[in-house]
């Protein structure tokens, strides 16, 4: 990474985790003594190249201010939007007077607390000389089936070139901003930053991730993550 390029992190955390269920917001679920969001933030705050972390939170969020990380000198917050992409765009706008076109923007899900510092460093190392940016992910290992609307199997899909996209997703500031402006201006919706960048004709790089970085979507995912951490502590 060029010494002139800063490394920014955006954590979209304005969602309510409707698929998780219950009354508690997903990113504030606890694993031992930490919330998922706290664990996620700690990884980026321990990375020496992190310039600042911008967390997009819901306007009705009453828990963010209670996290120790919310008071960290490198952490700021911004009001999130109606969707993930709007939250990321709001965060981009909040730093527009300080960020340069070639700065790196690393977007990471609040509910992926399993990202390790080593995996983050590996990704930055692979992407830092790329013109566009890239995505952490894993190759598909299950057999894939294409179904009809009635649920009948139509065909088996070749998985050889298929990957599951994770986060972080890391792009140049100017590219990511133009990509999201393009999608928003058309009234379209994307569920990750790479899709917006691809819509401009760019080809981001895929970087091998780790299973530990799985997204926590339902309560069973949280329990599996707890078990994994407890095994790591006891081993």
pLDDT surpassing 60 at residue 212:
yes
For 50, 137, 141, 145, the CA distances from 157, given in Å and listed in that order, are: 40, 19, 12, 6
Q: How many CA atoms lie within 13 A of 150 on its CB side?
A: 3
Separation CA 55–CA 137 (nearest Å): 22
Q: Averaged over 56-61, what is the pLDDT?
A: 94
* pLDDT at residue 20, as a whole number: 64
158's tokens = 């070749």
Please tell me whether the overall predicted TM-score, pTM, comes out greater than 0.85 for this model. yes
Average pLDDT, the chain: 94
pLDDT surpassing 60 at residue 21:
no
Q: How confident is the model at residue 147 (pLDDT cuts 50, 70, 90)?
A: very high
101's tokens = 């076109």
Separation CA 70–CA 178 (nearest Å): 29
The lowest-confidence range among 28-37, 113-122, 163-172 is 28-37
Q: Verify cis geometry, omega within 30 degrees of 0, for the bond prior to 134.
A: no
29's tokens = 């679920």
Q: How confident is the model at residue 23 (pLDDT cuts 50, 70, 90)?
A: low
The total number of residues written for the chain in this structure? 235
* pLDDT at residue 97, as a whole number: 97
Q: Verify cis geometry, omega within 30 degrees of 0, for the bond prior to 206.
A: no
């Amino acid at each position: 990474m060029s010494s002139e390029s800063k490394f920014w992190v955006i954590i979209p955390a304005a969602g309510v985790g409707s698929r998780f269920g219950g009354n508690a917001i997903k990113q504030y679920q606890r694993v031992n003594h930490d919330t998922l969001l706290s664990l996620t933030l700690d990884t980026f705050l321990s990375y020496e190249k992190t310039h600042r972390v911008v967390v997009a939170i819901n306007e009705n969020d009453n828990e963010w201010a209670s996290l120790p990380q919310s008071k960290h000198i490198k952490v700021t917050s911004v009001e999130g939007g109606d969707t993930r992409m709007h939250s990321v765009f709001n965060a981009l706008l909040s730093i527009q007077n300080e960020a340069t076109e070639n700065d790196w923007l690393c977007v990471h899900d609040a509910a992926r607390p399993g990202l390790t510092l080593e995996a983050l460093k590996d990704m930055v190392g692979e992407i830092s000389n790329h013109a566009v940016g890239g995505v952490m992910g894993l190759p598909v290992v299950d057999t894939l089936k294409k179904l009809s609307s009635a649920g009948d199997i139509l065909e088996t899909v070749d998985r050889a070139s298929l990957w599951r996209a994770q986060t972080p997703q890391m792009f140049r500031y100017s590219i990511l901003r133009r990509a999201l402006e393009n999608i928003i201006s058309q009234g379209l919706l994307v569920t990750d930053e790479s899709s917006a960048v691809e819509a401009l004709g760019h080809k981001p790089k895929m970087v091998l991730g780790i299973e530990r970085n799985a997204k926590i979507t339902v309560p069973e995912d949280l329990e599996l993550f707890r078990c994994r951490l407890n095994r790591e502590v006891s081993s």
